[in-house]
Amino acid sequence: MNSSNGSTPVSGVTDDALAGVKAFLFDLDGTVTHDGRVPAASLAAMERLQAAGILTLAVTGRPAGWCDLIARWWPVDAVIGENGAFCFARRGDGRIARDWFCETSDEARTRLGELAESTLELADNLAPAADNAWRICDIAVDFAEDVTGPTLDDAERVRARFAAAGAVAKTSSIHVNAWFGDHDKKTTATRVLADRFSIPEADQPASVAYIGDAPNDEPMFAAFPLSFGVAGVRRFLPHMTARPAEIATGEEAAGFAEIAGRLLAARKARPA
């Protein structure tokens, strides 16, 4: 259930519902990380989920260059990156299949760069994201990763500047990402789950769980009833309309491990 009054229920997902989950999808920054790094506990939780037969899919705003490494080296079945621009999935032979859901051109990249540059005037210390060099379909403005000072209200002004110019823009816990196109985390995730992992869209509400931490996760919170936020999502709730059904007690990676543990316990308790 999604709340519309600014608060979210402490418990909104039953363990019986979690017992039927076939795929666990998760954001990265602020969700599986702790203080900007990925702890061993997060990777171990992904390994346990895979061992239990639950698909693991990272769904992130991070760039293609990062996602290639994640798809190759992490215990994930696939990674969806740049807010739905592509999916890199591990095949049965261990090689990586790459599906693209964005259209890009030199003209579009130039326009995005110009728009991003224009947003830097909106607040002191805004900066181009350090990972822009590895992006293919979008661009990111940093308000909280390698800079200090900008607020969530500043990030919202950046997002609005992009949107007014015709771009799609979403705010994560650290960046404002912008692109041209109609893809987002939800549209790509539902398509990948159906086409690559044989979970029909009609079955996904009961078969897929998701956990995230920021406004760019709203499409996922709206699409999947079995949705969670780590504790840090609470600071973004005033800026969100679609909210998770439940918020974990743990911050960042601790919240991710908490919900992964619930999934595993529910699956183990399911009657044979």
Q: Report residue 60: phi and psi, to 5°.
A: -140, 165
Burial state string for 194-220 with b = 16 or more CB within 10 A and e = fewer than 16: eebbebeeeebeebbbbbbbbbbbbbb
CATH architecture of 15-101+183-269: 3-Layer(aba) Sandwich (3.40)
First to last CA, the chain: 29
Give the pLDDT of residue 272. 65
Query: Averaged over 61-87, what is the pLDDT?
Result: 98
Contact 126, 158 (CB under 8 A): yes
DSSP-derived 3-state class of residue 64 = helix
Spatial separation of the C-alpha atoms in residues 256 and 223, rounded to whole Å: 19
Query: Averaged over 153-175, what is the pLDDT?
Result: 97
Strand ranges of the sheet holding 127-128, from the earlier edge strand across to the other edge = 127-128, 138-142, 175-179, 168-171
Residue range 173-212, pLDDT digits in tens: 999 999 999 999 999 999 999 999 999 999 999 999 999 9
Closest CA to 126 of 97, 103, 158, 95: 158
- Two tokens at 228? 């969670």
- Two tokens at 230? 């780590």
- Two tokens at 17? 């519902």
Residue range 34-50, pLDDT digits in tens: 999 999 999 999 999 99
Q: Which H or E element spans position 162?
A: helix 152-164
Residue 246's alpha-carbon distances to 30, 128, 160, 213, in angstroms, are: 16, 33, 28, 12
| CATH assignment, 106-178 | 3.90.1070
Q: pLDDT band at residue 98, thresholds of 50, 70 and 90?
A: very high
Residue 49 CA, chain-centre distance (Å), reads: 18
Q: Report residue 121: phi and psi, to 5°.
A: -80, -10
Asked if residue 7 has pLDDT above 90, the reply is no
Domain locations in the chain as residue ranges: 15-101+183-269, 106-178
